[in-house]
Amino acid sequence: MTAGTLNEATPAEGQQLVQGGAMLVDVREQNEYDEIHAEGATLIPLSEFETRFAELPKDRPLVMICRSGARSDRAGQFLLQNGYSDVTNLKGGTMAWANDGLPTVKGGQ
């Protein structure tokens, strides 16, 4: 079975996907997530990804996010190689999401 192609989305497109039912998955480390993250994001750090990716639904679109887009790209490619089909990488990551004024959670909020 060949892996599908990893989709890419801008922060605004990613937010539309999430509003339409996609799951937003943050693959940064806990301390980065605690500092700031996109509202509604589920944390599965890339360092734990190989052992935890099965927690993600295969029947729901997934939008992967990290700080700038590199780690989420790796996680997305991994998912495609492991039977997931509807996976999107958020270009620019959390930095772009926040810069575009999309909802975030900071610190202890």
| Strand duo 42-43 + 23-26: pairing | parallel
Q: What is the CA radius of gyration of the chain?
A: 13
Let me know: does 64 contact 92? Beta carbons within 8 Å. no
Which residue out of 64, 66, 87, 96 is catalytically annotated?
A: 66
- Whether residue 104 lies in the annotated active site: no
Positive or negative: CA dihedral 97, 105, 43, 57: negative
DSSP 58: S
Any idea which residues carry the catalytic annotation?
66
